[in-house]
Amino acid sequence: MMPLPSPETSLAERVAFSFDEILATDPGLEPLIANGVRCHGGFDSAGAYHSPRTLHRAPAIRAWQARLAAEGADLVTIARDLLPPQYPNVAQAKLLLRAGVRDPIVRALTIIAIVEGFGAVIRDVRVPELRALVREPIDGTALAHLDRGLFEAHARDEAGHRNEGGHKQMWEAARDLALENPRVPTDVLMRILGSGGRAVPRRRSFPQLDETLEGLISTLSNVLVIEVFAAGTFDWGDRLLSDPEVSAAPEHAGAMVRCIRSDETPHVEYLRTALSELRARTLRTVDGGTISGKSVVDALLHRTLYVLTTSRPREQRADTRTSVAHAMRGAGAPGRLLEEFDALETPFAPPTRTGFDPASGTEGPAA
């Protein structure tokens, strides 16, 4: 039986869906073909793009958010000024392409495609028995649907499913259209895997919580921040690949990036909804006590935001600059090209607060 919305919220919208409903795509769409690969989603008779698997998923997320608002709970928001700039930025990327130093840009676009494909691992995230670990009811929430379609839809959107390409294949197509099937450096995947950070055991911030529950909240926080920050990457990709000065297919490649970008909206929205639902609830600890969901969600969001606005962009910048300088030498570019490149860099000083700062802690940026 379908659980009904609680009477006190008096919502007309449906808030409970089956696994298959969450995965359903609008019927009758003209498929999106990207550089010969059939991709997900498609176009309606008016030519508008519809993201895949949003027939019920999109209204479901809206209904869960409306329910949160009706209950007076906040929806988690990541401040835009936390978003580190792209490195190289659009002007720097154009400088490189015009100078014939194409490898760093081909590499950057290939990394984006590979990282999108890694998104498939979200279907393996373990969801504990939330009804036993959260004190308040969770029927008719995003939380109750994480393992009832939301994670699976997300995984399929990123990595493709069966004969349909997803974001991985769409980024490859955008790259190949814009840069005319460039030679792809063969070490891209190995360098991502070798750059470390993936096998580090997760530090427990809340050992009083069920380990799987802490792992889930930590993953939701990490993935939300990554998805929000990806907006900067999409904007970069759209502007660069839509620019006829450097792109061989400005309309087609740019449109592809915009399709991918619109598919990301349900990811950001279900993640922030689920985190907000946890934040508005009380979590049970393993010793029989309780802890507020807000204190856990805020601490884990703060931890992720702190790392992704300070050490991570610094490391990535240093790494990328080294490979850009190497590519310039390989392409026989004049020495002043690196100076020009550096002069175009977007300065970034991470804000001192993440918006989820501990009330009086020692961890994180100084207030």
Give residues in contact with Fe ion (CB under 5 A): 116, 158, 167, 227, 264, 267
Q: Given the complex with Fe ion, which of 96 and 155 has the nearer CB atom? A: 155
Closest distance of CB 112 from Fe ion, Å: 9
Closest distance of CB 257 from Fe ion, Å: 11
Q: Is 169 helix (H, G, I), strand (E, B) or coil?
A: helix
For 66, counting Cβ atoms within 10 Å of its Cβ (0-12 exposed, 13-18 middle, 19+ buried), the class is: middle
CA angle 249, 254, 257 (to 5 degrees): 130
Closest distance of CB 26 from Fe ion, Å: 19
Closest distance of CB 216 from Fe ion, Å: 18
Q: Given the complex with Fe ion, which of 167 and 303 has the nearer CB atom? A: 167
Asked if omega into 88 is within 30° of 0 (cis), the reply is: yes
Q: Given the complex with Fe ion, which of 43 and 234 has the nearer CB atom? A: 234
Closest distance of CB 174 from Fe ion, Å: 12
Q: Given the complex with Fe ion, which of 192 and 344 has the nearer CB atom? A: 192
Report the amino acid identity of residue 53.
R
Q: Given the complex with Fe ion, which of 156 and 294 has the nearer CB atom? A: 156
Sign of CA dihedral 293, 296, 298, 300: negative
Assigned token pair, 317:
């910048």
Under 8 Å between Cβ of 331 and 100: yes
User: Which one-letter DSSP state was computed for residue 117?
Assistant: H
Nearest in space to 38 (alpha carbons), one of 148, 166, 178: 166
